[in-house]
Every structure is written in C-alpha cells, then in structure tokens.
Amino acid sequence: MLPALAIIGGTGLTALDNLLINRRETVATPYGVPSSPLSWGTLAGRTVVFLARHGDRHSLPPHRINYRANLWALHQRGVRRIIAVAAVGGIRADMAPGVLAFPDQIIDYTWGRASTFFEDHPAPVTHIDFTEPYCATLRARLIDAARMLNLEAVCDPCTYAATQGPRLESAAEVRRLERDGCDIVGMTGMPEAALARELEMRYAACAVVANRAAGKVAGPITMAEIERNLVSGMVQTRMLLERVISTLDETEIRSS
C-alpha cells in the first residue's frame, strides 16, 4: 500500500521508535539523492513513510539539505500529506523550551537554496499561491491531538522565521525577527513548505521549542541545553504523531 502520509523528522527526531518499519528504500530523483532512505511502515495502524531531514546520522546542515530531492521522492511514492517536525528557538514569551507549536505563517530569510521545481526546463513560469503556507485542516488535527493528550503546547497562531543557519542567530537578528512579527525561529521551514505546495501536497508543521532565542535569556545558548529540552519535546511529539495519525482513516489521508 502506498503511503499517503509522510513524517519528516528534524533535529532530535532522526527515527520514530513507534514506527513499525516494513522496509527502507533509497529513491533516485531528478534532483539527486534524498537526505535518507524512506522508511515504510505502520504507525497507529496507518501506513506512513518517514524521512530524516538531516540524514540518519544528523550529518546534513540546514543549508545543505536537498529539499527538492526529499519532497520529490515522497511525492513520487504517493505521499499526499506531510507532517514536518522541526526544532526551533522561541521568540514569543509563551514559546518556552519543551513547548510544541504549530505555525500558520512563515517568513523566509534563507538565501541560495534550490527553492522551486519550476526552473531549468521548458515549462511556463509558474507562480503558486502561498497566502496560507500550511494546510489548515492538518494543522487543526495536530492542535486537536495536542489538546486531547494535554501536551505542553501553544495552539495559538504563530509565525515561523526560516533563517539560513547553520549558526544560531544574533540577539539583534532576533529583535529584527520579532519586529517582523515572528514568534519562533528555525532553519528548515523553507523551501520545504513551498516545495510541498508546488507538488500540491498538504503540509503542516510541529515545531518543538528547543531553546529561548538569542537575547531572550541571559548568557549563551548551548547545545547541551538544546539537546536536554529536545528529549522531553520529542517524547511529546511521538505521542502527538501517534494520536493524530490514529484519527485519520485511509480514505481521508489519501484525499488531495
């Protein structure tokens, strides 16, 4: 059975312990090799496929991820909906470490990334509508599941700032992001969300707050702090994914 739903795992989620894997497949694409083989299996009784965004060993920095290969491989294998998991920094006061957030908007500050499928071929110029970057229906399912499980989550609308990385931001950059209306900051939200839209796949994100953004807490941000906060955040995320997927029947997850 083709997996109509995919989970893309980011920092802290290079594997899904509760995914019963049937097989792994390396998919060739016109855009190169995806970050990792596709792991096919079942979660909560539903057919899903998992892809590790940074690679199985978390060896790909955000600006070197082959986003086009990742999305193309999933689409080629029948995926129609994507839940993307990513670690982020919290800008807004309620975006505390360990909290789950579900962005409804995004601002792209990245540069130099291959960000569209509509280039380098004779097809006409194509402009996708990106007014609402995330699938509202799938986002609502994530929020409902978080509430049912009483998880530590912020369910209000929030805006994701996608920065270039791999370094963390300066305090001044975070102040700029805040003035722009951003609530969380990460490095992988774009062009992933736009590429999914180009391929007409429904895409929603679960952002795990790993730290307060630069300047929002005294002292430097350490990887030890980030890793510590991700442990609890990813436990919640695994519970969330299992619950939300269990609420989707096969007919629904295959709807376009």
Q: Which domains does the chain have, with CATH numbers?
A: 5-254 (3.40.50.1580)
Distance set, CA 16 to CA 98, 168, 216, 250 (Å): 18, 26, 31, 20
Cα 96 to chain centroid, rounded: 18
Q: How far apart are CA 65 and CA 224, in angstroms?
A: 24
User: Is 54 or 58 the better-scoring residue by pLDDT?
Assistant: 54
Look at residue 15 in the predicted model and tell me its pLDDT: 58
Give the mean pLDDT of 153-159: 94
Look at residue 218 in the predicted model and tell me its pLDDT: 87
Q: State the pLDDT confidence band at 87, using cuts at 50, 70 and 90.
A: very high
Look at residue 256 in the predicted model and tell me its pLDDT: 44
Look at residue 1 in the predicted model and tell me its pLDDT: 47
Tokens of 41: 């299996």
Look at residue 115 in the predicted model and tell me its pLDDT: 94
Parallel, antiparallel, or unpaired: how do β-strands 153-154 and 81-90 relate? Answer: unpaired
Distance set, CA 13 to CA 124, 208, 227, 237 (Å): 38, 10, 11, 9
Q: How far apart are CA 106 and CA 27, in angstroms?
A: 29
Strand-pair partners of 100: 153, 208
Q: Is the sign of the CA dihedral 158, 224, 230, 108 positive or negative?
A: positive
Q: Tokens 């792994």 correspond to what residue?
A: 24
Look at residue 16 in the predicted model and tell me its pLDDT: 65
Q: State the pLDDT confidence band at 136, using cuts at 50, 70 and 90.
A: very high
Q: Would you say residue 20 has pLDDT above 90?
A: no
Q: Would you say residue 18 has pLDDT above 80?
A: no
Of 12-16, 123-127, 154-158, 199-203, which range is least confident? 12-16
User: Cα angle vertex 111, ends 163, 120, to 5°?
Assistant: 140
What element of type H or E holds 82?
A: strand 81-90
Phi, psi of 232 (to 5 degrees): -70, -35
What is the tens place of the pLDDT at every residue in 188-223? Answer: 999 999 999 999 999 999 999 999 999 999 889 988
Amino acid (one-letter) located at 167: R
Rounding to the nearest 10 degrees, give the CA dihedral for residues 217, 86, 156, 19.
-130
Look at residue 249 in the predicted model and tell me its pLDDT: 60
Q: How far apart are CA 31 and CA 49, in angstroms?
A: 20
Cα 52 to chain centroid, rounded: 10
Give the mean pLDDT of 31-39: 94
pTM to 2 decimal places: 0.92
Q: Would you say residue 169 has pLDDT above 80?
A: yes
